[in-house]
Amino acid sequence: MPKPTFHNLSEAKRRRITDAAVAEFSSVPYAKANLDHVVKAAGISKGSLYQYFGGKADLYRWLLTSWLPERKMAAIGAQAPPPGASIWQILEQAFVAGVRFAVAEPELTRLGIRFLRDHELEPALAEVSRQHRAAADAWLMHLLQQGQARGELRADLDLSVAAGFLAHALGEGMLDQLARALGLDLHEMLDEPGVVGTLTEDQLVTLVRHVTSLFRDGAGVP
């Protein structure tokens, strides 16, 4: 976590530093991320960085556990679902919010994806990631149980299996599908700023419905 000095800096300077760090950590895996790039891009000296943060791991941890979640919250907002919403509406809302964020902030998305892939490196981060997973899991299981009780789900569904797939589908999986729809690789898509913007709201919602439809009743063709 940042040292007090960091909080005393001007908003603009903090921003320069954060931007530089995000750019670096989102473009290469943690082990390859280079603090010299960060300080150069931020226009500060190496010594200063160590006046603000405890080190590389500290900076990375702060970005992922404090800064990124804040940005995400700010961007998505905690939209309460309408009172009588079906679990499909709730899921759809979550899916769409996630994809909209990815479209609006491809760099932050890349940062998050990188984290998913090498969180095992920093034991402290592994714990963070485990908690995230557990929270998402609990939320999904609760939702699915509710759905099953209301008869909104296919009756033959194994909830645990479904929750596992939805967890993936809500995150990376959805982005993969998007990339697929554009004929690209996930990384290619996130690296090209313009391309995601070509997706229409309509395409997006259609894609989301195709995903959720897997868990709803089929049309029942024999």
Selection from its own copies, DNA, none that 185 binds (CB < 5 to 8 A by kind) is its own copies
Task: Give me the least distance between CB of 195 and its own copies, in Å please.
Answer: 17
Among 48, 146, 177, 212, binds DNA (CB under 7 A): 48
Among 14, 19, 41, 50, the residue binding DNA under the rule CB under 7 A is 50
Nearer to its own copies, 78 or 219 (CB): 219
For residues 32 and 222, give the distance between their C-alpha atoms in angstroms, rounded to a whole number. Answer: 53
Whether the Cβ atoms of residue 21 and residue 56 lie closer than 8 Å to each other: no
**Smaller CB separation from its own copies, 11 or 156:** 156
CA-closest candidate to residue 23, choices 9, 5, 37: 37
Q: Does 32 bind DNA (CB under 7 A)?
A: yes
- Which residues are at the interface with its own copies (CB under 8 A)? 29, 31-32, 117-118, 120-121, 130, 151, 153-158, 160-162, 164-165, 168-169, 173, 176-177, 180-181, 185, 187, 207, 210-211, 213-222
